[in-house]
Amino acid sequence: MKKTLIRPFHAERGVALITGLIFLVILTLLSVAAMRTTLLEEKMAGNARDIDLAFQSAESALRQGQEELRGAVPPALAAGTPRTPRITDGALDAYWIGTHNWIAQSAVGWQPNGTFAPPRYVIELLDVGTASGGGSLGIAPQSDQGIYRVTARGVGATANTVVILQTSYQR
C-alpha cells in the first residue's frame, strides 16, 4: 500500500495568489497605457481635422478675393476698409496675427459648414502698372492693371484654430 503525504495548511506559502496579483497589475498597466495612447491619437486626429477645416475656410476666402479682382472693374480702394491701398506691415505675419482688425477691416466670405466663424479677406493694391506707348513721348494714362495682395483668414471648428493665407494677383 502506498502512503500519501498530506501537507499541513501552515506549510503553503500563497505563491499562486501573489503571482496572480502581479499578473493583474501588469495587465492593468498595459491597459492604461493603451487607453492613453488611443486618447492622444484621437486628439491629434481632431486637431488635424480642425486645422484642415480652417485652411479650407481661408482658401475659400482667398478665392473669393481673387474672383473680385477678376471682375471688369477693379475694386475701389480706401484705407481702413477691406479693399485698401498697400498696408505697410502687410508682409509681416505678426501684423495679420495680432494687429489687423479683422472684424472692421475685412470682407466676409462664404462660411463652410462646421467652422466657428466665417472666413474674411483683405485686398491690397501693391503696385499700379502703366500702359505702354500712346503719345510721342511714350506717355500714356495709368491703366487699371496692378499687382494686388489678397490676405485671407479662416477659422476652424474652434476659435483657437486660425489659418492665414496670402497670395499675389496681377490684374
pLDDT on residue 10? 62
| In-domain check, residue 120 | yes
**Host domain of residue 126:** 12-170
Structural domain includes residue 62: yes
Q: Is residue 121 part of a domain?
A: yes
The predicted structure's pLDDT at residue 6:
67
In a domain, 6, yes or no: no
Residue 5 lies in a domain: no
Give yes or no for residue 1 having a pLDDT over 70.
Answer: no
Residue 126 in any domain: the answer is yes
CB atoms within 10 A of CB 62: 23
Q: What is the pLDDT of residue 57?
A: 96
Q: Answer whether residue 81 is part of any domain.
A: yes
b/e 24-51 (16+ beta carbons within 10 angstroms → b): eeeeeeeeeeeeeeeeeeeeeeeeeebe
The total number of structural domains in the chain stands at 1
Q: H/E element holding 166? A: strand 162-170
Whether residue 7 is contained in a domain is answered as no
At 136-166, the pLDDT tens digits run 445 544 455 789 999 999 999 999 999 999 9
Q: Please check the confidence at residue 62 and state whether its pLDDT lies above 60.
A: yes
| Cα–Cα dist 152/163, whole Å | 8
78-135 pLDDT tens trace? 999 999 999 989 889 899 999 999 999 999 988 999 999 999 999 999 877 655 544 4
